[in-house]
């Protein structure tokens, strides 16, 4: 099934304008796009709707270049619409803010004072002309290319790797076999490198959606936090406000595909409140159906101490 992404925002925020700008950018990359627009009232397609009124369950309007379908439909669930979009790579929805689907909010200062999704766990990105921080990647109103990079990296690239278009005729069984083989291959890789990671001198963490998803023993010792305290913890737990803002920008840019330096110096806060100067070496890695940051952390304090031995 194609991935569904909702473009949401308060009335007048610019949802339709954003979608109209985003479609050409994704199309030129070779993707097939489906659109669902929520209608809060009953709609009609000129007089041809009279066939449905007469009792027809499905009406198709056909010309030499296009078709339009009017179908009796008694559910507003987005999942119920997917059957009509089997020939597309991604479905972009305008509205449906209450559905449990990934959401990209557009928020303009001239239109509203507060964003719609301040406390929404489904929010994956914010498009805005403000400095509002919702702990998700943020894009400017005209950064359509970067937004398309983000969507492609998070949803479309992984889909192409696992379900290539050339293999569509093989059926769902072949796809499941391919997916199972990929899962087993990843498990084998994990087994091979687990000892190496566990015994590494440098700290190693994986950060996804600004939260720690993995931490090796070296980083636990370095930070003073236990593995249980780190896993699932937000970056604010051990990064000061100034460093958090700086690293958040780097994280969002990196996940969005922007070319930023891989190695740079930073600072985090140990469990006892003391600061630690560190060197970070960061790269982007697949994480489920999205992307995450793989971070190698080197304690610069220890490195400086070696100079005096």
Answer whether residue 192 is part of any domain. no
Give dist(CA 254, CA 249) in Å, integer. Answer: 8
Three-state secondary structure call for residue 226: coil
Contact 94, 15 (CB under 8 A): yes
Answer whether residue 172 is part of any domain. no
Angstrom CA distances, 119 to 31, 113, 157, 178, 243, stand at: 31, 15, 28, 37, 23
Tokens 């004072």 belong to residue = 113
- Which residue, among 304, 245, 299, 296, has the nearest Cα to 276 in the 3D structure? 299
CATH code at position 14: 3.40.50.300
Angstrom CA distances, 13 to 96, 126, 133, stand at: 15, 12, 17
Give the sign of the dihedral formed by CA 255, CA 258, CA 263, CA 268: negative
Three-state secondary structure call for residue 191: helix
Task: Write the DSSP assignment of 241-273 as a string of letters.
Answer: HHHHHHHHHHHHHHHTT----SEEEEEEE-TTS
Residue 22 belongs to domain spanning:
3-41+50-162
* Residues shown for the chain: 309
- Which residues are registered as beta bridge partners of 288? none
Q: What is the pLDDT of residue 195?
A: 72
DSSP-derived secondary structure letter, 77: -
Residues 59 and 117 in one domain: yes
pLDDT in tens, the chain (309 residues): 788 899 999 988 999 899 999 999 998 888 888 888 766 555 555 544 554 455 566 666 666 666 677 776 666 677 777 777 878 888 898 877 888 889 999 999 999 989 988 888 899 999 999 999 998 999 999 999 999 999 988 888 655 554 555 555 555 666 667 777 766 666 666 666 677 788 888 999 998 888 898 899 999 999 999 988 998 899 888 888 888 888 878 878 877 778 888 888 999 899 999 999 999 998 888 887 778 888 999 998 765 544 544
Residues 158 and 208 in one domain: no
Residues 13 and 150 in one domain: yes
Residues 156 and 210 in one domain: no
Which residues are CB-contacts of 13 (< 8 A; sequence separation ≥ 6)? Answer: 105, 106, 107, 108, 111, 112, 116
Contact 127, 106 (CB under 8 A): yes
Answer whether residue 131 is part of any domain. yes
Answer whether residue 121 is part of any domain. yes
Residue 47 has φ and ψ, to the nearest 5°, of -80, -10
Query: Which pTM does this prediction carry?
Result: 0.48
Q: What is the pLDDT of residue 48?
A: 46
Q: What is the pLDDT of residue 54?
A: 56
Answer whether residue 190 is part of any domain. no
Q: Among 116, 132, 162, give the residue marking a domain's end.
A: 162
Answer whether residue 302 is part of any domain. yes
Residues 67 and 152 in one domain: yes
Q: Among 162, 186, 214, give the residue marking a domain's end.
A: 162
């Amino acid at each position: 099934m194609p991935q569904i992404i909702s473009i949401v925002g308060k009335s007048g925020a610019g949802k339709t304008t954003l979608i109209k700008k985003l479609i050409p950018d994704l199309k030129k990359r070779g993707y097939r796009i489906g659109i669902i627009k929520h209608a809060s009232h009953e709609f009609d397609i000129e007089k041809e709707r009279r066939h449905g009124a007469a009792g027809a369950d499905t009406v198709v309007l056909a010309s030499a270049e296009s078709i339009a379908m009017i179908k009796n439909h008694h559910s507003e669930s987005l999942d119920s619409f997917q059957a009509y979009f089997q020939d597309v790579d991604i479905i972009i929805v305008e509205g449906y803010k209450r559905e449990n689907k990934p959401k990209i909010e557009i928020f303009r200062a001239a239109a509203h004072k507060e964003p719609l999704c301040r406390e929404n766990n489904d929010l994956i990105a914010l498009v805005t002309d403000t400095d509002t921080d919702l702990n998700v990647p943020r894009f400017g109103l005209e950064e359509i290319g970067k937004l398309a990079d983000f969507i492609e990296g998070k949803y479309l690239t992984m889909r192409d790797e696992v379900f290539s278009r050339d293999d569509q005729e093989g059926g769902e069984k072949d796809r499941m076999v391919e997916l199972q083989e990929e899962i087993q291959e990843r498990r084998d890789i994990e087994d091979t490198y687990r000892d190496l990671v566990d015994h590494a001198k440098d700290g190693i963490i994986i950060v996804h959606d600004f939260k720690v998803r993995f931490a090796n023993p070296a980083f636990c010792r370095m930070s003073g936090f236990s593995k249980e305290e780190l896993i699932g913890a937000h970056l604010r737990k051990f990064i000061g406000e100034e460093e958090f803002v700086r690293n958040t920008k780097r994280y969002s840019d990196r996940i969005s595909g922007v070319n930023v330096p891989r190695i740079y110096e930073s600072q985090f806060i140990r469990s006892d409140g003391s600061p630690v100067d560190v060197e970070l070496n960061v790269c982007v890695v697949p994480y489920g159906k999205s992307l995450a940051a793989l971070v190698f952390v080197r304690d610069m304090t220890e490195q400086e101490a070696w100079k005096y031995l």
